[in-house]
Chains A and B, each alone.
Chain A
Amino acid sequence: MDDLTIQRLMSLSQLSLDAEDKDKISRDLDAIIGFIEIMNKVDTEGVEPLAHAVDLDQPLREDRADLDIDRGLFQSIAPETADGFYLVPKVLDRR
């Protein structure tokens, strides 16, 4: 797996690795990809993908609204809040 691919995967996953870990993980990923190639030995022509093993349908929930929310409880475990907002380092809005 080339460096560019690893860089791209790390960027998509918001991870950064030091040189040693990157080297190790890069080798592991090669091994994993080599290993999963075994799937190609199975003929899956005409086979539908299966997302869940048990055949169930999506249930629907009645549209009832709950107003009873304890923001204080939820924000007591947050790294940084102010005036009810969660705070993150300043970003320029891209939308």
Chain B
Amino acid sequence: MKPYIGVRELRSDLQAKKYSAVELAQFYLDRIARFNDRINCFITVDTESCLERAAAADRKLATSNSPSLCGIPIAHKDLFCTAGVRTTCASNMLRSFIAPYDATVVKRTSDAGAVSLGKTNMDEFAMGSSNETSCFGVVRNPWNLQRVPGGSSGGAAASVSAGMTPLATGSDTGGSIRQPASLCGVTGLKPTYGRVSRFGMIAFASSLDQGGPLAHSAVDVWELLTEMEGHDPRDSTSANIKKTELAGFDRTFVIGYPESLFDGLDKNIAACIDVARKQFEALGHKIEVVELPHIDAAVAAYYVLSSAEASTNLARYDGVRYGHRTESSVDLLDMYCRTRTEGFGLEVKRRILTGTYSLSVGYFDAYYLKAQKIRRLVRDGFLEAFKKVDLILAPVSPTTAFEIKSIKKGPIEMYRQDLYTIPVSLAGLPALSLPCGFVEDLPIGMQLIGPHFSEGDVLTGGIAFQNETDWHDRHPDLETTCTS
């Protein structure tokens, strides 16, 4: 058995009984047991129930109609509620919270036969781009343990990159799937807002949050997406659209190239994406330059909107019905205050205060409403571009994985990590982050962005690229990185 293996191969191996689902789960559990101490990508590993589920998958595999992911291991980001297994959001506030229900994404993947290995580390309440805000400690990049994996789905990206799971769920609010995928050299998709149910996915910013898959390849991302997506009557913002179907591989796309976006980009990263651009051309796709307006203002607008939503989404953590409650308090307000002050980390507090500020009397118009107006301009800019092109090719992150604790100058420097991913989030568009090269032995990714609900095209473009390249097939050597 080998750690890096695609869903289709796993499926045929399991069906051919080359190994059982229990053996497969045990293989990954062993690998987690061996390397997680160093990588720290799992917060919770539930060996017992994992093996039970794998045994159940084996029984199903023995029948003629086993579901599509039957027996295939998966890791859930620790903001998807899982009944019976703690869901922490990497926060002291929920350190021992056991959700009384399964998130729709968890239920659907489980119904599809996927076997959950455990819950992956993340930035606290998904607020961060380096996985350094987790109360369970930073996740280390499998390519270089001194470096961050990106965030907030840092544990998800690192667990796939480290070969601890073939599939992982993540969530993306301003780049939280795409940026860690880029920094860890894996493939991840932020679906169109509304494609994947948010029910049971602990909210950061409700109008931006979107669950999505991470895996070794675009085709595996598609395999997982089709089991995560679909209308959910329990989420008002869930769209009623049909399952993602891939386009034919003879399909040629007009791919937009937002030239100005590359101006300030690291030359080496720009060079990688430039090579990719030529490869697309070589495959018969057409490249056309497009303009995307208001990118800088988009980052600001994103922080206003996401913090505003977060500030009230996190008001429910009051120590009354679940989660952390302070040991002793003199009265109700003291209980609230101590509970929340103890339960939330600094970055979460910063965002709550920022959000509260922008919603306050006297500031609402200048910040919150202004940001919503910019949001419209940003979205309309994309919609305008998509009148001319089918897809847009863009950077994911301005740097490769940076060193742990290297961003010290304050929050703004960290926020700018998401310069290329945030506009897409504001516009609610689907975007695939996929590896396109290495800079100084660290992987770097690029984004393929499409119009609303065009995941089929975005993934087809990604699969076509990966059919011609092997960036996604390169993996870190844990034997070396974790033992040195």
Contact = CB atoms under 8 A, between A and B. Distances in A.
Contacts of B334: 89
Interface string B259-274: 0000000000000000
Interface stretch (B180-188, B294-302, B440-448, B462-470): B294-302
Interface stretch (B2-10, B111-119, B343-351, B388-396): B343-351
Contact of A42 (B192, B294, B336, B354): B294
Interface string B20-52: 000000000000000000000000000000000
Contacts of B335: 88-89
A84 interface: no
Given A41-B297, A59-B236, A49 B354 contact: no
A83 B340 CA distance: 26
Given A9-B357, A31-B410, A16 B338 contact: yes
A86 B335 CA distance: 14
A82 interface: no
B371 A39 contact: yes
B294 A21 contact: no
Interface stretch (B245-253, B320-328, B398-406): B320-328
B284 interface: no
A95 interface: no
B337 A89 contact: no
Interface in B344-375: 344, 346, 349-350, 352-354, 356-357, 360, 367, 369-375
B1 interface: no
Chain B interface, DSSP helix/strand/loop, else mixed: helix
B426 interface: yes
A21 B350 CA distance: 10
B304 interface: yes
A63 interface: no
B237 interface: yes
A56 B239 contact: yes
B377 interface: yes
B333 A77 contact: no
A9 B294 CA distance: 29
A67 interface: no
Contacts of A4: none
A79 B343 CA distance: 14
A54 B428 CA distance: 6
A65 interface: no
A19 interface: no
Contacts of A41: 297
Please list the 4 inter-chain residue pairs (A to B) with the smallest Cβ-Cβ separation, ordered nearest first: A53-B428, A49-B372, A50-B376, A79-B325
9 contacts: A9-B357, A10-B353, A39-B371, A40-B370, A52-B207, A53-B429, A54-B194, A56-B194, A78-B321
Interface of A: 5-6, 8-10, 12-17, 21, 24-25, 27-29, 31-33, 35-42, 44, 47-54, 56, 58-59, 61, 70, 73-74, 77-80, 86, 88-91
